[in-house]
A and B are shown apart, each in its own frame.
Chain A
């Protein structure tokens, strides 16, 4: 079983995608809630600088030391960004827009100068190549296991452990950093730990999917989940499930039309996002539209009963409380007026007396609740 798995490139590719997706979605949930999506973008670019620096110092292009280097680069990015925006000479979005291109540019120039033919290049960092993960293997227990899996599996477990161990603290500091600080939970430190883990995961993932597709896995499933649920644990589960499904479906689609596998996986997360955006149960576009529509309908019947109540038993009743008056005085068109009257009849707020529209007891009570709420 295990041997069959390791011998099958498709299984290894999909497994890599699933691990990248899960590791990213777990952290992404908190990053989206904290409004740190674009900081993640910045970090995922500036790790090129970290990768090159670590390579220059240790001549290693992967492994634990690279992951630690990336974590430090991520923290450097965050510190530089915060330092710049603390000078109050620019906003923090401008600070992000200055820091990561500068680090990325230095990284590329260092590559130009020192690393003409080395395995790391800007292309790999940005794009990755998931279809070749099964080629780069290391021997573990007599089997040749892809290095990507050896790096990504522990990374995913570390992220999972972090989320489980600090679930309460992460939850509190994401939703109410002020309270978290007052209770002594050090939300700042936790935020740094989160961003350091993001950078480490970015390096672990860059070989497979490249940093920008990694960014898609961090932000998009979590955002889709955010539109689907109000519960944090459910959001974590949904984000992970969306990421896993995207990895599987993305692979199948990419193979069918023969395009970039990583790109297709990321694109499928977008399909899930659009579905959540449209059909989310409470925050989706259609749900919002339905709520607004129901509100509008309710307002129309309320206008009808209020109008009838105002003119009930007055001299103008025979002129005001007829369908024609609704068209002429309330500015409704004929169809709309008829639909609203029919709805009033259906709801038993109104009944017809000849051509006069009269309120039922229910309708009168509704009108009183609107116009004379003090009568109880």
Chain B
């Protein structure tokens, strides 16, 4: 079976489309969470969705996705409020508050899950799938729900782009401009809860945090503006979703959620390593280059000073003398500089050791360097 055959399969098409929509939603909203240092709120919100799913099920009496999502959103928002109340009204730090709310809401979810289990409702079996995600359970109708969520999130982000941007980067300035900062923050947190809720059925409670964080962190590597970051995060989220879904369809019974998360994690690693300017590899190369250019520049100015103090521009400096002055072997550096036309090798009879003198180009370079370092008369 080739990849193209896979896309012909109806179930796989549904799952891949669902995963793409989930990736789109979390890629769209994740950057705001990450930039506002609320990455772990995603973990708390996803665990807090569990009791909401059970309550939604108990009220609706069936596994109807919109009711489950409404319940999950409600407990998610309640959890976010609890975190804020604990941080504001007690001496506990936000990290303890997140942990408390996460574990207690999850415990409530487990208790409700076992309560639902004894109600003898035939369709309750599906609730467990929210813990770890069950992509294969995605129905065609679910795609409509996910699409609607994506649409709402997209419209909200477009409408309130300026406000969200300002509150994300400089809430104090936003407040001074008369923006309702607390309201916008609450709205953004609610939207992140929405993203979490949308993804639960696909990737599950535990892994959802990665859907929020990973595309945003990876996109940050490639983008220099918020708009670029959000756009790249959306693309990466969708790519991760589709690749994960397709991989799980080719493999023998591999779960979709974990595969999506692994794909996204690989994307993050590649972005951390390879991205231009911010990437680790890029930085290592730049550091290596600096390690070579700085001594070369020093040798160049030494030659310039020697020539100047001897009153002749073609003064030949002896290799050993340069080595002693710089307390290192400079032969390699000088050969490299000769290749770039900065110095030329000369002999200075009767001495047999190598000597070096500046070329015209080298002298101009040295003068530029010295001038840049604050020697205007050079």
Contacts and interface: CB of A to CB of B under 8 A. Distances in A.
Interface of A: 32, 35-38, 40-41, 45, 84, 87, 89-91, 93-94, 96-98, 100-102, 104-106, 108-109, 112-113, 116, 122-123, 126-127, 210, 212-213, 215-216, 218-220, 223, 226-227, 254, 257-260, 262-264, 266-267, 269-270, 273, 277, 283, 285, 288
Contacts of B12: none
- Return the 4 tightest CB-CB contacts between A and B, nearest first: A263-B110, A101-B210, A37-B99, A266-B107
A89 B221 contact: yes
Given A215-B102, A220-B100, A266-B107, A288 B89 contact: yes
A17 to B, nearest CB: 13
A104 B258 contact: yes
Contacts of B249: none
Nearest to A285: B89
B327 to A, nearest CB: 32
Contact of A264 (B34, B42, B111, B131): B111
B183 interface: no
B210 A97 contact: yes
B96 A219 contact: yes
B39 A97 contact: yes
28 contacts: A35-B93, A37-B96, A38-B95, A89-B221, A89-B280, A93-B40, A94-B213, A94-B216, A96-B40, A97-B39, A97-B42, A98-B214, A105-B259, A112-B251, A113-B252, A113-B254, A116-B253, A127-B131, A212-B106, A219-B99, A223-B92, A227-B90, A258-B118, A260-B110, A267-B107, A267-B111, A273-B100, A273-B104
B312 interface: no
A270 to B, nearest CB: 4
A349 B128 CA distance: 68
A17 B131 CA distance: 23
B132 interface: yes
B298 interface: no
B103 A220 contact: yes
Nearest to A36: B95
A93 B221 contact: no
Contacts of B280: 87, 89
Given A93-B40, A98-B214, A266-B104, A215 B110 contact: no
A255 to B, nearest CB: 12
Contacts of B110: 127, 210, 212-213, 260, 262-263, 266
B255 A109 contact: yes
B114 A105 contact: no
Interface string B104-126: 10111111111100100000000
B37 interface: yes
B268 interface: yes
A269 B220 CA distance: 39
B194 to A, nearest CB: 18
Max chain A CB contacts within 10 Å: which of B86, B99, B207? B99
A97 B43 contact: yes
A100 B261 CA distance: 11
Contacts of B49: none
Nearest to B115: A259
Contact of A109 (B99, B104, B214, B259): B259
A89 B107 contact: no
Interface of B: 34, 37-40, 42-43, 47, 86, 89-93, 95-96, 98-100, 102-104, 106-115, 118, 128, 131-132, 206-207, 209-210, 212-214, 216-217, 220-221, 251-255, 257-259, 261-262, 265, 268, 272, 278, 280
Given A97-B40, A108-B258, A260-B113, A213 B93 contact: no
B115 A257 contact: yes
Contacts of A109: 254-255, 258-259, 262
Given A93-B40, A122-B132, A38 B255 contact: no
Contact of B99 (A38, A102, A262): A38
B128 to A, nearest CB: 8
Nearest to A41: B99
B264 to A, nearest CB: 8
A213 B99 CA distance: 11
A127 to B, nearest CB: 6
A94 B217 contact: yes
B210 A216 contact: no
A216 B107 CA distance: 8
Contacts of B213: 94, 97-98
A220 B96 CA distance: 8
Given A38-B43, A263-B114, A270-B107, A104 B99 contact: no
Nearest to A40: B99
A215 B99 contact: yes
B96 A89 contact: no
Max chain A CB contacts within 10 Å: which of B37, B40, B221, B265? B40
B96 A105 contact: no
A105 B92 contact: no
A239 to B, nearest CB: 13
Contacts of A122: 132
A122 B134 CA distance: 13
Max chain A CB contacts within 10 Å: which of B42, B131, B209? B209
Contacts of B109: 263
B221 A91 contact: no
B92 A226 contact: yes
Given A98-B268, A123-B132, A259-B115, 16 more contacts: A38-B95, A90-B34, A97-B40, A97-B43, A100-B209, A105-B261, A105-B262, A109-B259, A113-B254, A127-B110, A219-B103, A223-B92, A223-B96, A259-B118, A260-B114, A285-B90
A359 B109 CA distance: 62
Max chain A CB contacts within 10 Å: which of B47, B100, B210? B100
A105 B40 contact: no
A116 B254 CA distance: 11
A116 B255 CA distance: 12
B147 to A, nearest CB: 25
